[in-house]
């Protein structure tokens, strides 16, 4: 019996935003008055991170990946605490 295999060339790319979603240290999204929006969390490069307000990159480099992972962890913990209130 022979197994069938297929291969294709792939690459990493990500869609990003210019003008970040602003967040607190708990990754709570903040509104135009700088007040946290209850129950709304965000993470990753769209929350500014190292890119700030004017970065429009198409690729996630190592620094952005580590920020995405850590901010996602923080947002997840914060959302879990909010969910059990």
pLDDT tens column, 39-59: 999 998 788 655 554 455 555
For 71, the 3-state DSSP assignment is helix
Are 41 and 29 spatial neighbours (Cβ–Cβ below 8 Å)?
yes
For residue 7, is pLDDT > 80?
no
Predicted TM-score of the model (pTM): 0.66
User: What is the per-residue pLDDT for 79?
Assistant: 97
């Amino acid at each position: 019996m022979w197994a069938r295999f297929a291969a294709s060339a792939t690459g990493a790319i990500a869609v990003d935003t210019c003008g970040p979603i602003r967040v607190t240290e708990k990754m709570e999204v903040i509104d135009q008055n700088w007040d946290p929006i209850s129950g709304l969390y965000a993470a990753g490069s769209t929350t500014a991170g190292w890119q700030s307000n004017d970065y429009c990159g198409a690729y996630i480099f190592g620094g952005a990946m580590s920020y995405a992972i850590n901010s996602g962890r923080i947002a997840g913990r914060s959302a879990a605490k909010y969910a059990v209130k």
